[in-house]
């Protein structure tokens, strides 16, 4: 428990920020799962569409500081490789 007003406020802000970041991270993971689901189904067109929707979401997470740019690049590369492998 915070003893100082400013530290109490900081604790409140941290709770809000954590909830917001968790929601954004969850959104990104959902988009990635949609791509993987389409890949597993073997539907190349659906996989490409899901990938096109996932990329801006992943990039947004980098801009917002939720994930590192290298992690985003790794996700995009691996997903794109698997999408292209469907043929």
Q: How many domains does the chain have?
A: 1
Supply 13's token pair.
Answer: 């802000």
Domain hosting residue 15, numbered range: 5-85
> Cα 12 vs. chain centroid, distance in angstroms?
25
Please tell me whether residue 4 adopts helix, strand or coil conformation.
Answer: coil
What is the mean pLDDT of each successive set of 10 residues along the chain, which is 87 residues long?
93 97 98 97 96 98 97 98 93
Report the predicted TM-score, pTM, of the whole model to 2 decimal places. Answer: 0.88
Domain at 49, CATH number: 1.20.58.110
């Amino acid at each position: 428990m915070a003893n100082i007003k400013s530290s109490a406020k900081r604790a409140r802000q941290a709770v809000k920020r954590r909830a917001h970041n968790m929601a954004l991270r969850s959104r990104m993971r959902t988009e990635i799962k949609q791509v993987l689901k389409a890949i597993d189904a073997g539907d190349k067109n659906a996989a490409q569409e899901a990938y096109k929707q996932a990329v801006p979401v992943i990039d947004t997470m980098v801009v917002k500081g939720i994930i590192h740019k290298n992690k985003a690049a790794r996700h995009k590369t691996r997903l794109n490789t698997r999408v292209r492998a469907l043929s």
